[in-house]
Each structure stands twice: as structure tokens, then as C-alpha cells.
């Protein structure tokens, strides 16, 4: 444990900018959640879908006139809504289920508040990288691209099965006393362990000069 703590402290102190950014991010995230909760209590509006319904933007709302609106940033649900919205426009029925039809809806990406948070985070990171002249387009090789695509697909499937990411399916549920969060943690830890073992095996084979066809 002492070695782990020393390593953690070394990691924090080795990059002062990263440590300061992490601290500021935590403070701003807490302030964001507090402000959102206070505004909801003050105006007695607890879901963005209520505002959309009042403004006659009923397209894409659930049957309860609600949309996905946690009040702070989640990782996977708004992106799933983007995909569902595109499939819905292509003629695929996407609202005959509990996830979209009853709870989260499929609003237009232009009216998806958590989606704009995701876009804002990406743009903010890009602006900072540009200001520090650290931004660079990188084209991955075929092997890296395949790892990214397969890994991303598996993460997406897992997030939909679990009805959330590590925030929604673990942190939020565990803090509310929900046992399913611990079940999610067990699955996430097990899957990560297996994935690391497979990835390590692949890297070791490649390092040994074995030409493996993908």
C-alpha cells in the first residue's frame, strides 16, 4: 500500500498542470450539480422535457413528456440518443421500449442538453490543446483502428446492457444504495481483466516478431 501511495503522489506532483486541472474540474462539477439542483427546486421544473413540452416541442419526448436529463454530465446515454435519432429518421422504430419510449425519449440533437455538454467538453479540450500548440491530427494504423473499433463496440454494447456507464451504472447507483452498482462493478472489473490479458498477449506476440494477421 505504501508503494501505491508513493506512486500516486509521484503521479500527482509530476504534472502540476494536470493536478490543478483535476482539482478545478472537481470543484466546477460540484458547483454545476449544486446550481442545477437549486434552480430545479426554485422553478419546480425537474426535467428538460417539461420545458420542451411547454414550448410545444413534443417530437422526441417519451410518453411521460420527459427526456434524459440528469442535470450533470453522463457519458453514454446522450450518444445513444444521437444514434437512436438517426435510426428513427431512417425509419427504424426506436421508441417501443422502456429505455427510450418510457424514460429518455429521442430528442433532436439540437435540443439534447447532455449532448451539448459532451460537445462542449470536446471543443473545450480542443481549444486548450490549440492554445498550447499540442493539437495534432493523428491517423491510426490498421491495427490500432481495429482495436479502437472493436473496443468501442464492446463498450457501447456493455453500456446499453447495463443501462449506463461507470458513472450512471456504478457511482450513481452505489451512492443510492442500489445493489446493481456492485454487480456492474464485478462485470466491469472482470471484463477489464480479461481485456488487459488479451491485449498484453497480443503485444507480447507482436514484440516477439510474430506476424499475426488480424
Q: Measure the CA–CA gap between 22 and 37, rounded to whole angstroms.
A: 23
Q: What is the value of pTM for the model shown?
A: 0.77
In terms of Cα–Cα distance, which of 155, 160, 167, 156 is closest to 195? Answer: 155
Do residues 29 and 72 make contact, with C-beta atoms less than 8 angstroms apart?
Answer: yes
Q: Give the pLDDT confidence of 163-205 residue by residue, as tens digits.
A: 888 888 888 888 888 889 999 999 999 998 998 999 899 888 8
Q: Give the pLDDT confidence of 4-63 residue by residue, as tens digits.
A: 888 888 877 777 777 888 888 889 888 988 999 999 999 999 999 999 999 999 999 999
In terms of Cα–Cα distance, which of 182, 186, 166, 164 is closest to 174? Answer: 182
Domain residues of the chain, as ranges? 138-214
Do residues 62 and 105 make contact, with C-beta atoms less than 8 angstroms apart?
Answer: yes
Amino acid at each position: 500500500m505504501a508503494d501505491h501511495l508513493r506512486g500516486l503522489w509521484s503521479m500527482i506532483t509530476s504534472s502540476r498542470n494536470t493536478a490543478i486541472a483535476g482539482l478545478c474540474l472537481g470543484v466546477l462539477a460540484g458547483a454545476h450539480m449544486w446550481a442545477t439542483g437549486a434552480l430545479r427546486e426554485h422553478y419546480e421544473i425537474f426535467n428538460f422535457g417539461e420545458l420542451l413540452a411547454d414550448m410545444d416541442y413534443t417530437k422526441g419526448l417519451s410518453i411521460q413528456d420527459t427526456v434524459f436529463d440528469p442535470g450533470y454530465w453522463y457519458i453514454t446515454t446522450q450518444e445513444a440518443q444521437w444514434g437512436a435519432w438517426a435510426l428513427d429518421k431512417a425509419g427504424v422504430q426506436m421508441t417501443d421500449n422502456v429505455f427510450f419510449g418510457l424514460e429518455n425519449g429521442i430528442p433532436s440533437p439540437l435540443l439534447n442538453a447532455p449532448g451539448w455538454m459532451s460537445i462542449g467538453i470536446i471543443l473545450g479540450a480542443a481549444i486548450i490543446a490549440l492554445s498550447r500548440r499540442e493539437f495534432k491530427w493523428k491517423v491510426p494504423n490498421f491495427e490500432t483502428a481495429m482495436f479502437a473499433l472493436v473496443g468501442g463496440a464492446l463498450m457501447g454494447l456493455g453500456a446499453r446492457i447495463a443501462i449506463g456507464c461507470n458513472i450512471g451504472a456504478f457511482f450513481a447507483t452505489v451512492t443510492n444504495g442500489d445493489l446493481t452498482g456492485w454487480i456492474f462493478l464485478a462485470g466491469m472489473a472482470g471484463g477489464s481483466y480479461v481485456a488487459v490479458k488479451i491485449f498484453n498477449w497480443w503485444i507480447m506476440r507482436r514484440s516477439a516478431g510474430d506476424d499475426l494477421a488480424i
